[in-house]
Structure 1
Amino acid sequence: MQTRIEKHKHSGHQMVLTDRILMRTLAIILVHVLFLLVTFFLDGLDYKAKVSLFAFFSAMTLWVTTKFPAGYVALAIVCFIVLMKGGSQELLFHSLSEEVVWLMFGAFIIGEAVTQSGLAARFVEFILRKSRTAGRMKLGIISFIFSTAFFIPSTSGRAAMAKPIITHVGSRLSAGEKRVLAVTVPIVILMSTSAVLIGAGSHIIGIGLLESATGQYISYLQWLVWGMPFALVVTILSVLVIKCLMGREEESADSARRETKTNIEVTKPLTKAEKKTLLIVAFLLAGWMTENVHGYDLAFVTVLGAIVMTLPNIGVISWKQGIKSVSWNLILFVAAATALGRILVETGLVQWLEGKLTGFLFLLSQAPGWIMVLGILLITSTSHLYITSHTTRAIVLMPGIILFSQSTGISPSAAVFLSLIGMNYCITFPVSSKALLLFYEDGDLSYDAGFLTKLSAILLPVYITVAVVFYCTYWQWTGMSLH
């Protein structure tokens, strides 16, 4: 009798589960039909642009609402574009030649070398010895990551450097704490980008366009005065929001003491492997920081570092160890997703959107300053939804922003600064930032794409509100004004 009841309950549970799957599938199909109708009736776009737009909407929907592997979805969407004649076959083949692919390839190998050498463990030991609770340990990691914005001019480079450290820390945390850390670290990297002029390549591009078009310039010190307090406030608020959404971590003194019992003493002299790794990482940091001097991209410098790390008798790990450490699923996802972002630019879809958005700004030209700031921030902070590359966003949007400022008589330097601050917000989808991609679908230390979208729904209005408040108070007090 009991067995029959249990079978009945199990059958009922299976039916409910099947109904939920069926309802979700129907909802996804209906959403795709809606996307198809919207793109079909849009004016000003040719066939290829419409195919690319529909494919982009489809990819975002599948990433957020289904459990299909992200790499599988990205590759399938790129193949769909090619099949529908929305792009050439080279779109797929050339996707593996993207800079971010080779940056991540090298970053995985370097991260493995840092871990195998013992440097990651040594750094973790230092943090643990200074931390009596898990919360303080996380605070120490966050503070260190925030500070890297001052000497690594790339969110990708900062993520690549932080990843082995975070992976090592994750081995000492519970599953819940790992999930919190996997989201917190890339968010802190992105939110702290606004602190300094060299925090992102888009800053350099925007300031360069400003100087060539208007003769105005924002110095390193001026950016620091404006950007540092803002970055600090939004970083703190972001961490607090994540903590509220994901629950409080266990911070008992007993667990902290248990975590600090490790095999490596901080006072122990550096080993030969650690010295080698430290020296190579120092050269890597120098290479990343002086990209504008030597002219080699971050990806090339990173791959070069990976080669040195695996050199026989000189490196720290073998080539075979390095290759095994690469997450090829993530590499393929990044390659296909980046190609998807690039096709949006090549088909003219991004330029079409730029024209629509710049026209919206002209409607606000006679509005009060804070309303105009709100309009600029709404456009630039949501631009990551349709322009996945941070650098591309600056290249595409900045000329229009500068033209708008000159046409309406507002300060070009203030408009450019506010626009770049807005463009630094890019956390809605994993594909929105390379820093997010590095931590996405990476074994135990990963996060859910759906949660990221939920988090962005809260953080985006918070981010914009803080920026508007800063403009009305601190930024105007320190000499920045649109009028």
Structure 2
Amino acid sequence: MEKQLEKQTRSRTWIQQLSIKSLVIISIHILFMIAVLLIDALDYRAKISLFAFLSAMTLWIATKIPAGFVAIALIAFIILMNAAEPDLLYHSLSEEVVWLMIGAFIIGEAVKISGLAERLTDSILRKSNKKNNLLFGLSSVLFTSAFFIPSTSGRAALSMPIIDQMSQRFSTKERSILAILAPVIILMSTSATLIGAGSHLIGIGLLESTVDQTISYIQWFIWGVPFAIIITFLSVLIIKWTLWPRDGLKEIVNVQPEEKIKSKKQFNGKEKKTIILILFLIAGWMTESIHGYDIAFITMIGAILLMIPNYGIISWKQGISSVSWNLIIFVAAATALGKVLVDTGIVKWIEKEMLNVLHLFIGAPEWLIVLIILLVTVTSHLYITSHTTRAIVFIPGLLLFSETIGVNPSTVVFLSLIGMNYCVTVPVSSKALLLFYEEGEISYDASHLLKISAILMPLYILVIMLFYFTYWQWTGMHL
């Protein structure tokens, strides 16, 4: 009897120690489990993988548990439940994004050590000592980069040392907002140009091969630039309004007079070498279709050249030390979690269910068709973490949908690609977001990203709708 009472006391103590937040998270997991079990169309492997993915999303957003630990633990869970082979864990480190990020960290360190990041920061600081103007200057630089660097991750990689250097003029709270602001600007400016993302080229290629139509670089420029400017501007306003500390100083602190002279000095040898290498990288990224080497490989070549003994900018030790291995492991594991959704057929099941719903809208009014396309594509980043994979999965189905209901395939593809460019809800949905996630002094909280997205996602859809029924129709776009 005493033992039984002791057990009951322990149980009560354990329940009392559980916070309301913990109980909510446990309840959410139970609901996920029940919902997944009720999906008859998925086999055992798919159900386990889907539950693990939903669990990861919940824990990343709602808890302070290290994101890398969550990702690896859930991969181990999938393997232990016999829903995948151990290779799922081992092969995760061979993902393209992993090597892209390793190279990006090394290049960022070289840009910082060479003095280029400080020079660019000081040149922006010379024009104003107000934080608002500094943020505007940074936003302009990041937006413009979309026109000559055809990769969001490439732009993020080159911006990291600049943000790191610039963040020294801001408070700790403001730095975390900068870590969100930079990748969001990079992502929102993607829609400005046809070469802004690989998914654009994939979508246009599928359009040409399927229905023999295309969207030219100039046409995309006419449609994309005004939209990208407006949505980037609105994104910056929303981030400042929702996250920026109200009690923060408006003036930039610790700006020394001698810093204003630095940017006028001639470039030193290290800076010149770094500039030449960055130009080489940009050329390599832009000509990927010619030489056949992907962006990650080109980035690693650049990193290797920067670490050549006696001739490089940094040493091997400096380069390797600059890599955030905590973040690399998280990215590898998180990418594997996303990949398993494709491998187990979950993504195909989602695509099939969505297309079945889409076919119910044959004969629907134009505004409803546009809205449905946007709802499908804008939310696709929540379950397909790769931008490129989203285009490969959805564009063929949406082209079939456009032919079935008799609307213009070019318009459907353009709207779909612009919709897929939205990926601001969770860090794992974009390489640009991942580069700034949990990284030193300029990291951000995943819950802040969710808070931004709750406002920005519906606004993004609304702005596209407004553009479609005004400017885009005036310039020749129609369903």
Q: TM-score, normalised by structure 1?
A: 0.94
Q: Give the conservation status (yes or no) of the 8 Å contact 2:68–2:331.
A: yes
Aligned equivalent of 1:406 = 403
Residues 249/295 of structure 1: CA separation in 2 closer, same or farther (3 Å cut): farther
Unaligned 5+ residue runs, structure 2? 1-14
Pair 1:34 & 2:31 matched: yes
Moved over 6 A (4+): none
- Output the aligned Cα RMSD: 1.4
**Residues 110-125 of structure 1 aligned to structure 2 (within 5 Å):** 110-125=107-122
Aligned equivalent of 2:219 = 222
Looking at structure 2, the residues matched to 235 and 435 of structure 1 have their Cα atoms a distance apart, in angstroms, of: 15
The structural deviation recorded for 1:43 is 2.1
Pair 1:74 & 2:76 matched: no
User: Which among 135, 153, 158 is matched to residue 155 of structure 2?
Assistant: 158
The structural deviation recorded for 1:173 is 1.4
User: Which among 182, 187, 192 is matched to residue 184 of structure 2?
Assistant: 187
User: Which among 105, 110, 132 is matched to residue 108 of structure 1?
Assistant: 105
Looking at structure 1, the residues matched to 332 and 405 of structure 2 have their Cα atoms a distance apart, in angstroms, of: 40
Superposed CA offset, 1:11-70 (max 9, x none): xxxxxxx96852222211111111000000112111111111100110001101111100
Pair 1:448 & 2:445 matched: yes
Aligned equivalent of 1:3 = none
Q: Give the conservation status (yes or no) of the 8 Å contact 2:123–2:260.
A: no
The structural deviation recorded for 1:394 is 0.4
**Residues 2-401 of structure 1 aligned to structure 2 (within 5 Å):** 21-247=18-244, 248=246, 250=248, 252-253=250-251, 255=252, 258=255, 262=259, 265-401=262-398
SS class of match (1:382): helix
Aligned equivalent of 2:424 = 427
Superposed CA offset, 1:441-467 (max 9, x none): 001101110111111111000000000
Superposed CA offset, 1:374-410 (max 9, x none): 0000000000000000000000011100011111110
Looking at structure 2, the residues matched to 442 and 218 of structure 1 have their Cα atoms a distance apart, in angstroms, of: 38
Q: Give the conservation status (yes or no) of the 8 Å contact 2:170–2:253.
A: no
Looking at structure 1, the residues matched to 80 and 92 of structure 2 have their Cα atoms a distance apart, in angstroms, of: 16
Looking at structure 1, the residues matched to 451 and 170 of structure 2 have their Cα atoms a distance apart, in angstroms, of: 24
Unaligned 5+ residue runs, structure 1? 1-17
Pair 1:479 & 2:476 matched: yes
Superposed CA offset, 1:288-345 (max 9, x none): 1111111110000000000000001210000000000000000000000001110000
SS class of match (1:312): coil
Residues 244/424 of structure 1: CA separation in 2 closer, same or farther (3 Å cut): same
The structural deviation recorded for 1:131 is 1.8
Equivalent residue letter for 2:356:
G
Q: Give the conservation status (yes or no) of the 8 Å contact 2:169–2:254.
A: no
Residues 144/98 of structure 1: CA separation in 2 closer, same or farther (3 Å cut): same
Looking at structure 2, the residues matched to 338 and 468 of structure 1 have their Cα atoms a distance apart, in angstroms, of: 32
Residues 402/455 of structure 1: CA separation in 2 closer, same or farther (3 Å cut): same
Q: TM-score, normalised by structure 2?
A: 0.95
Aligned equivalent of 2:7 = none
Looking at structure 2, the residues matched to 65 and 265 of structure 1 have their Cα atoms a distance apart, in angstroms, of: 44
The structural deviation recorded for 1:249 is 7.1
The structural deviation recorded for 1:140 is 0.4
Residues 263/396 of structure 1: CA separation in 2 closer, same or farther (3 Å cut): same
Looking at structure 2, the residues matched to 243 and 21 of structure 1 have their Cα atoms a distance apart, in angstroms, of: 35
Q: Give the conservation status (yes or no) of the 8 Å contact 1:312–1:318.
A: yes
Aligned equivalent of 2:11 = none
Q: Give the conservation status (yes or no) of the 8 Å contact 2:149–2:196.
A: yes
Equivalent residue letter for 1:388:
T
Superposed CA offset, 1:192-238 (max 9, x none): 11010000000000000000000000000000111111111111111
SS class of match (2:416): helix
Residues 121/407 of structure 1: CA separation in 2 closer, same or farther (3 Å cut): same
Residues 371/174 of structure 1: CA separation in 2 closer, same or farther (3 Å cut): same
SS class of match (1:444): helix
Identity level (%): 59
